[in-house]
Amino acid sequence: MTESIFLNDGSPTRITNPSHGASAVDITLCSLDLAQRAQWRVLDDSYTSDHLPILITLSYTGENVNIIYPARRWKIDKNKVTVYTDYLRKTHPNIPNLPTAKEKN
């Protein structure tokens, strides 16, 4: 089992009624190895929530790694093109140039 550590520094993460005071109820755990490369801080803007966002930044000093993402491909059953087109036409009426059933034949 990997040992975990709290990244929190005690800063409040939740805004409450002024009479209750702020609290640090949101916690961030990570492995000891990862904690050595992590910076943790609470952002100031709550974005209308009663919880403040937490920003976690990880530093990486290793060699650059090139990531190759495969091309996205879609296979649509040619027998169901009319079904797909009709669905799109109903759910997204603003899509221009959808072929009609007559144009597909």
| E strand intervals along 1-105 | 4-6, 29-31, 38-42, 54-58
Asked if residue 39 is part of any domain, the answer here is yes
Structure pTM? 0.54
pLDDT value for 68: 78
The C-alpha torsion from 13 through 14 and 18 to 19, rounded to 10°, is: -100
Cα-to-chain-centroid distance, residue 24 = 23
**Same domain, yes or no: 12 and 48:** yes
CA 53/CA 32 separation, integer angstroms: 23
- Residue 65, in any domain of the structure: no
pLDDT tens by residue, 2-41 = 688 999 999 999 888 888 878 888 999 999 989 999 999 9
Q: Is 67 a member of any domain? A: no
Give the structural domain span for 98. Answer: 75-105
